[in-house]
Amino acid sequence: MIRNFAVMMLALAAALPIAHAQQKRIAVTMIVEVPQLLDVKRGLIEELGRLGYREGQNLAVDYSHAAGSFPTQQQIAKKIVGDKPDVIVPITTPSAIVMVQAAKDANIPIVFSTVTDPLRAKVVATLARPGGLVTGVSDLAPIELHLKLMKEMVPGAKRLGVLMNPSLPNTQTYLETLKQLAPAAGLTIVESAAPQTTNVQAAALNLVGKADMIYIPNDTTVYSALEAAIKVATDNRLPLFCGETRSVERGCAASISFDYYDVGVATAQMVKKVLDGAKPGDLDVNVLKDSYKNFQLWINIKTATGMGLAISDDLRKRAAKLF
């Protein structure tokens, strides 16, 4: 009996840390489900597991998405704040804006992910030690690499059509950067606005005859209806490029980007610190492109050919993935 009692007590002692740790709960939310954002979520959860916070064991994950609706994201935010998780992880700029506003008086830590320009979005006041209860990861894209790739693949291009939702803070940042860098690349910018997903096809058609190629920055509105833009580009043999690589799999001609799983990994590393007791405001915002070493070139041979492009052997060799 003494032996059985000792075994039972050891088992109870072993279970206590897990029972205590089960109180840790994070709320993950995103404005819309697209492949690259689901990669972020997967990287986040799997890296947290590697760091000792395992879903279903000592971590509960409440996940939601707003199906592209800003009002729905606002409703979700109210519920998340009411549930009082240990950490809120909004993925995308719209989700981060809504969550920061909803939680401003709730004393809940927030670690955002895939927020292109946290300063313009006003989710933090500074990137270094932002103070307060908010920090996170910026996925600001390597625009210089994108322009270089597009000019390599369409060397005679003079007019770059930019298909975007101009109301999004991240798109405004990309548009400003493009306008600054385009002259050195011998390009002028032609804008075409798609304020809603239902406008994407018409906005793409608006660029036919006005642009030599199309670029879609990391814009959740356009990505939600990406196939409509791809069809216009293919029907009119107009090369179309995207700001991240998972959209190449969907039909963009090419891109150079992060592996968005790695963006989730970087986010998890910050979430872990907060779960362990760190104050978000003491953690610098991670502008990932400044330290990232694994940018990958993806090319969709089939759709690129349909858009009038010839893919050189050199490009094929440099590509991490070909479709």
10-residue mean pLDDT profile of the chain (323 residues): values are: 44 44 87 95 98 97 96 97 98 97 96 97 97 97 97 98 95 96 97 97 98 96 96 98 96 97 98 98 97 96 97 97 97
Phi-psi region of 277 (alpha: psi -120 to 50; beta: other; left: phi over 0): left
What's this model's pTM, rounded to 2 decimal places? Answer: 0.85
- Report the SS3 class of residue 304: helix
Whether 143-257+294-322 and 2-139+259-290 are alike in CATH topology: the answer is yes
Share of the chain above pLDDT 70, in %: 93
pLDDT tens digits, one per residue of 21-52: 458 999 999 999 999 999 999 999 999 999 99
pLDDT tens digits, one per residue of 253-288: 999 999 999 999 999 999 999 999 999 999 999 999
Fold (CATH) for 143-257+294-322: Rossmann fold (3.40.50)
Give the per-residue pLDDT at 19: 40
Q: Is 119 exposed, middle or buried (0-12, 13-18, 19+ CB in 10 A)?
A: middle
Is domain 2-139+259-290 annotated with CATH 3.30.450.190? no
Give the per-residue pLDDT at 23: 80
d(Cα 304, Cα 242) in Å, to the nearest integer? 12
d(Cα 207, Cα 196) in Å, to the nearest integer? 17
Domain boundaries, the chain: 2-139+259-290, 143-257+294-322
